[in-house]
Amino acid sequence: MVASLASGALPGAVPEAGSGKVTSPMKVLGIGLPLLYSAAFFVAPLAFLIMLGFWLVEDFQVVPAFSLENYLDIAQHMFAKSNYALAIAQSLWVSLSTAFLAVLVCYPMVLAIVYLAPLSRHRLLLMLAVAPFWSSYVLRLFSWQILLANKGIINSGLAWAGLESFQVSLIYTQSATRIGLIHYLAPILIVILYVTVANIDRDLIQAARDLGATRWQAFRRVILPMSRTGLLVSASFAAIVSFGDVLAGALLGGGAGKSVLGSVPLFSNMIMSEYASSTNLPRTSALAMILVLVMILMLAAGAALADRNKIDAG
Partner 1 sequence: MASVIRPDPLAADGRWWRVAGRLYMAIGYLFLVLPIATMIVFSFQKGQFASIPGQGWTLQWYGKLFTDGTLLEALRNSLIVSPLAATGGCILGFLAAYALHRFRFRGQGAFSVLLVLPVLIPPLILGVAFLGLLSRIGLQGQLLSVILTHVVIVTAPAMAVIQLRLGQMPASLEEAAWDLGATDLQTLYKVVLPFTLPGIAGGWLLAFTFSFDEFIIAWFVSGFEQTLPVAVYAYIVGSVDPSLNAVGSIVFGLSVLSLIGVELLLFPILLSRYRSATS
| Nearest to partner 1 of 80, 180 (CB atom) | 180
Judged by CB under 8 A, which stretch of 18-26, 83-91, 166-174, 223-231 contacts partner 1?
18-26
Q: What is the DSSP string of 49-61?
A: HHHHTT-EEETTE
What are the C-alpha distances in Å from 5 to residues 9, 11, 16, 35?
A: 6, 12, 8, 24
Residue 208: which of 225, 221, 193 has the closest Cα? 221
- d(C-alpha 282, C-alpha 286), whole Å: 6
Q: Please select the residue that binds partner 1; options are 94, 176, 186, 189, rule is CB under 8 A.
A: 186
DSSP letter assigned to residue 13: S
- d(C-alpha 96, C-alpha 295), whole Å: 11
- d(C-alpha 83, C-alpha 282), whole Å: 19
Q: Please select the residue that binds partner 1; options are 90, 99, 103, 144, rule is CB under 8 A.
A: 144
Is residue 27 near partner 1 by the rule CB under 8 A? Answer: yes
| Nearest to partner 1 of 2, 311 (CB atom) | 2
Judged by CB under 8 A, which stretch of 5-13, 85-93, 96-104, 227-235 contacts partner 1?
5-13
Residues 287-306 that bind partner 1 (CB under 8 A): 288, 291-292, 295
Rounded to a whole number of angstroms, the minimum distance from the CB of residue 313 to partner 1 is 25
Judged by CB under 8 A, which stretch of 78-86, 130-138, 163-171, 221-229 contacts partner 1?
130-138
Is residue 264 near partner 1 by the rule CB under 8 A? Answer: no
Q: Please select the residue that binds partner 1; options are 197, 251, 264, 298, rule is CB under 8 A.
A: 251
What are the C-alpha distances in Å from 165 to residues 154, 156, 159, 168, 170?
A: 13, 12, 8, 10, 15
Is residue 211 near partner 1 by the rule CB under 8 A? Answer: no
